[in-house]
Amino acid sequence: MAARARASSAAACSATSRAASPSARAPDARCWVMSAFRRFGFALILPLAAGLLVAAGGEEPIPWPHGDAPSSLELDEAIGAAIELAARERVEEFLEAAEKGEDREHIFALQTNIDLGAYDLERLFAFGDALFAHEFRGEDGFGDRPLPGLSRVHSGVRGGLDTYSCAGCHSVGGPDGAGAPTQNAFLLGDGDRASSANQRNAPHVLGLGFVQALGAEMSSDLGQTRGAALAKAAETGTDVTVSLESKGVSFGSLTAHPDGSLDTSAVVGVDRDLLVKPFGWKGDIARLRRFTEDAARIHFGVQSHVLALQWQVEPDVPRLGAGPNWWDPDNDGVQREIEEGILTATAVYMAMLETPVILPPHDPALRTRWSNGMAVFEEAGCASCHSPELPLMNVRWDEWPDTTGGPPVELNLMRDGDQPRGTSLVRLYSDLKRHDMGEGLADPHDGAGDVPRSVFLTRPLWGLAETAPYLHDGRAATIPEAIDAHGGEATAARDAFRALDPEDRKDLHVFLLSLTREPKVHVLQ
C-alpha cells in the first residue's frame, strides 16, 4: 500500500497528486487561487472556487494575481487532483481504523535498505511525508510508561509531551506551515510554570534544503579560513589573525598561534567551532536529520535508534532517560522508535519541500507601493541582517547516513521536489547568523547549546506573509509590531523604521506581505 498522505497536505496544481513523484510534477504547473484567499491558509473551498471561476469567466474578467489565467482543463486537473487526494486520505483513515498498525508501516524504513538503493526519491519523500503527518501513540514509543498526559511546559532538556504530530503544529498558511499561538511550545521549563520556559512559535519548514546547504557551505568557508590561519602561523612562527567571512556575512575574526591553539574571543554570530547552524530560533542545529530527531524526542518522547546507540556508549540520562537497557533509554518497552532510515527519509522530504516565493501585488498602484517598500527595506537597514539573497555554490546535496557507512542519498535541490523550486541565488532574507536582540526579546534563560537569552538566529523572511503571529514566541500579531519589538543589534534599524514617513511604513508592509508561498488548492476535511 502506498504511504499515507498527510491529512492536510495540498495537492500540487497539476494532474499529479501528492502520492506521485515530486520530481515528476510538471515544473510549469501553476496554482491560481485569488490572492485574497492566501490569507486563509491556501484553503480553497470548492463551491466558492466555482463562484470565482464564473466571475473570472464573465464579461469583465477578474485579473489573475500573477501569470496567465488558467485554461478550463488546467483548472479541472487541479481541482480533480485535490478531490482525489482528499478521498484517498479518507480511505487511509478507514483502513487504519480497521487494521490497527497499518499506519505504522508507512514510517518504517531501514537505513540498510536505503543504502542498497531499495527506495527512490519518490518513496523516501512518501516516508517523510507520512512521518510528518503521523499521530504518535504509545505503541510507537510516545512518552514513557505509564503513559502520561500532555503537558504544555517541558521538563528541562528532557522535553515534554505537547503534541502528537509534526503537522499538528505546522499548519498555519498551509501544509508544512507555521504554528498558531495556541500551539506554542514551552521549552526548558520546570514542567509546571509557563513563566519558567522559553516559549517558541513554530516556523514554517519550506525551503529548508536550500537553507541546510547554505549553512554547510558557510561552515566549510569558515573552516578553510581557520585551517589556512593555523598553517600560516605554524609556518611563520607568529600569530596570524584572520577575518571570518562567508557569502558576504562577517563572523568576526580569530587568531591562530604557532602552537596550534586558537583565540576565538572575537568570533561573533556563530559557535566557536565555526559551524553555522541554520535551524532553530537560536541557531543550534546544523542538519535536518538532527532537527527531526530532536523534535521527535522533545515533543513526542520518541527516540531514534541513533540516539539509543549513542546512549550505549555514553548514557545521556537527562535527555534520554536512565534505561536500564541501551536499546530503550526511556524504558517505555518500545525500542527502535524511529529508525535511522526514517531520519534519512524525513531529511530528504524536508529538503524536497517547495520553496517560498515573492508575489508582488497585481494592482498597479499597489505594485508602485511594493516597489518603494523594497527600497525602504534596504534604506532602513533591515537588509543588514535580513540579507535578501545568499549565493549557493553547489545545488547538489548528499544526505549521509549516521552509522552504516553507506552511500548518501543524492539530491538536486533545483530539480528534485515540490514546485516551486529555488535557484542558486537563494532569496531567503537572512544572513544565517546569530544576533543579540536586546533584553526586550530575551528568553527567561539561556537556550539550547547555552546560546545567551537575548541571542537569536536571523529568522529567514521568505514565506513571512503566511506565518502570523511573528517573532520567536508569537508575541507580535502583525509585521509592524514585530519590527517595533526589535532591539539590541537591530536598534538602529528599528529606530529607522519608527522614523519613517507613515506612507513609507505602509509601503514597507506591502513589500513584506509579498514574501509568501505559492497558492495551492486543497480540500478542507
Q: Are the CB atoms for 43 and 524 separated by under 8 Å?
A: yes
Q: For residues 12 and 392, what is the distance between their CA atoms, to the nearest angstrom?
A: 26
Return the pLDDT at 27. Answer: 32
- In sequence order, the β-bridge partners of residue 250 are 245
Q: Which residues pair with 357 in a beta bridge?
A: 516
| Phi, psi torsion values for 285, nearest 5 degrees | -130, 135
Of how many residues is the chain composed?
525
As given in the structure block, the three cell numbers for residue 77 are 486537473
Nearest to 245 by CA among 258, 260, 229: 229
The neighbouring-strand residues paired with 262 are 256
Q: How far apart are CA 244 and CA 221, in angstroms?
A: 9
Read off the amino acid at residue 164.
Answer: Y
C-alpha cell belonging to residue 416: 528534485
Give the model's pLDDT for residue 144.
73
- Averages of pLDDT over each 10 residues, the chain, 525 residues: 36 34 35 34 39 44 60 82 84 80 84 98 96 90 70 89 92 93 93 93 98 99 99 98 99 99 98 98 97 96 95 93 92 93 98 97 93 98 98 98 98 96 98 98 88 97 97 97 98 98 98 94 76
* Residue type at 452 in one-letter notation: P
Residue 406, C-beta contacts closer than 8 angstroms, at least 6 positions apart? 111, 112, 114, 115, 116
Q: At what angle do helices 502-512 and 364-379 cross, to 10 degrees?
A: 100
Check residue 68 and give its pLDDT. 66
DSSP for 320-378, written as a single string: H---SSTT-TT-SS---SB-HHHHHHHHHHHHTS---EE---SSHHHHHHHHHHHHHHH
Cβ atoms 339, 111 nearer than 8 A: yes
What is the bridge-based pairing of β-strands 240-246 and 249-256?
antiparallel
* Cα–Cα distance, 456 to 474 (Å, whole number): 14
Cβ–Cβ under 8 Å, residues 11 and 82: yes
Look up residue 474 and give its three cell numbers.
508569537
